[in-house]
Structure formats: structure tokens, C-alpha cells
Amino acid sequence: MSELEKGVQTQLDNIQKKTGKSLEELGRIVVHSGLTKHSEIRSMLQEKLGLGYGDANSLVHFALKSDGTRAAEAKGASGDQILDEIYAGPKAGLRPIHDKLIKAINKFGEYETVPKKGYVSLRRKKQFAMIGPGTKNRLEVGLNMKGLAGTERLLAQPAGGMCQYKVFLSSAGDADAELIAWLKQAYEGAG
């Protein structure tokens, strides 16, 4: 079992402890809700069970078997094929920015890349960043770190979201030393 799989299992175990319900019971709550959209189900779990965004999000993926990794496995797709899908069509121009960031992040040390439906999650013991198209012309980098004041570029996000900060890039030149330093800080904080 990979570190990521262990992390997911630990999170699911903790969700069961928090809610006092088994995964089977939690799965029935999702099915019986009648909701079909990921975001609606996540919101319902947050409201009904008092789960935070991350726990509710992971529980939806588990219940629906919908995370990018499982979807890729089901289709027999590799990580590169998933990236090709993420950066297809009008978003193809964002792939060189993505690749430049990954090249810089690879210098930090070991981490796992977990493809999701529209982005990739970068993880150590926990997610430290996410990278994917925000629009067809702008790449979005989400950062999980603490202790920095938001700026015009480093946009602080509301508490309880997937990332504490976001940075938008429209060219490879935006993947500069300042952003790489923030990524390194997030990487080091993820353990």
C-alpha cells in the first residue's frame, strides 16, 4: 500500500470515528440522498454530518469511486494520458506552464502526483499543492500552507476549502522564483 493509499485509508477511518458510522452506512447516506452532483453531495455531507470540506470531498470520491486515480484505472489510462486529457483542446497552451512547475517541484524531493478529473494533486503525507487549468487561458495553482498574508498574487482562500491560497498563471514566465518558493514552503509543510 502506497503512502497515499495509507493516507486515504487513515482519513476514511477518521471520518468513521467522527461520524460514528461505518463506510457502508455513509455510502447509504450518499445513495439515499438522491443527489448526483459531487458538489451537492459534498455540501450535504458537510451540513448533515458536520464534516470539513476535505473529509466530505474524500468521502464523496470514495462513495462514488470517482477520484481521478480510480477513474484512470478504470479506463486503463496512465498519468500522462490523464494530463493529455486535462490539457486538451483550448487548454493545450497551459501544458508547458504545468511542465515547468513540475520540473521545479521535482527538485524538492519525493512526492506523489495524483491525477484528478481536472487537475493533479501533489502530495507528501498530505496534499501540498494542486495544479490544473482554472480557465482555458489561465493555470491555477492551489497551495496548502499557513502563516502568509495574502497578496494581490497569492490569493488567500476562505477557511475550510481545499487550499489556503491560489495563484493564477497565464504564461511560463509566471512560474517564477516567488511561486517556486511558495511551492517549496507548502511542500516542506506537508511532511
188 pLDDT more than 90: yes
4-13 long-range Cβ contacts below 8 angstroms, 24+ apart: 4/112, 4/114, 4/123, 7/123, 7/125, 7/126, 8/58, 8/62, 11/54, 11/55, 11/58, 12/58, 12/59, 12/62
* Higher-confidence position of 147 and 20: 20
Q: What is the pLDDT of residues 100-113, one digit of tens each?
A: 999 999 999 998 88
Pairwise CA distance, residues 128 & 121, whole Å: 8
Q: What is the pLDDT of residues 60-83, one digit of tens each?
A: 878 877 655 555 555 555 567 788
Return the pLDDT at 90. 94
> Is residue 72 a part of any domain in this protein?
no
What are the grid coordinates assigned to 39, written together? 458538489
Q: What is the pLDDT of residues 126-170, one digit of tens each?
A: 889 999 999 999 999 999 998 899 999 999 998 877 799 999 999
Q: Which of 4-8, 38-42, 181-185 has the lowest mean pLDDT?
A: 4-8
In terms of domains, do 107 and 17 share one?
no
In terms of domains, do 59 and 95 share one?
no
CATH of the domain at 93: 3.90.1150
At 72, is the secondary structure helix, strand, or coil? helix
> Is residue 130 a part of any domain in this protein?
yes
Return the pLDDT at 64. 79
* Higher-confidence position of 21 and 161: 21
Return the pLDDT at 11. 84
**45: nearest Cα among 73, 66, 25, 65:** 25
**Domain stop point among 43, 66, 89:** 66
Which residue range(s) make up the domain with 126?
79-189
Q: How confident is the model at residue 3 (pLDDT cuts 50, 70, 90)?
A: low
In terms of domains, do 87 and 16 share one?
no
Q: Is the pTM of this model over 0.85?
A: no
What percentage of the chain has pLDDT greater than the value 70? 90
What are the grid coordinates assigned to 1, written together? 500500500
Q: What is the mean pLDDT of the chain?
A: 86
Residue 33: phi and psi, rounded to 5, are -65, -25
**Domain stop point among 41, 66, 91:** 66
* Higher-confidence position of 6 and 58: 58
What are the grid coordinates assigned to 101, written together? 512547475
How many structural domains compose the chain?
Answer: 2
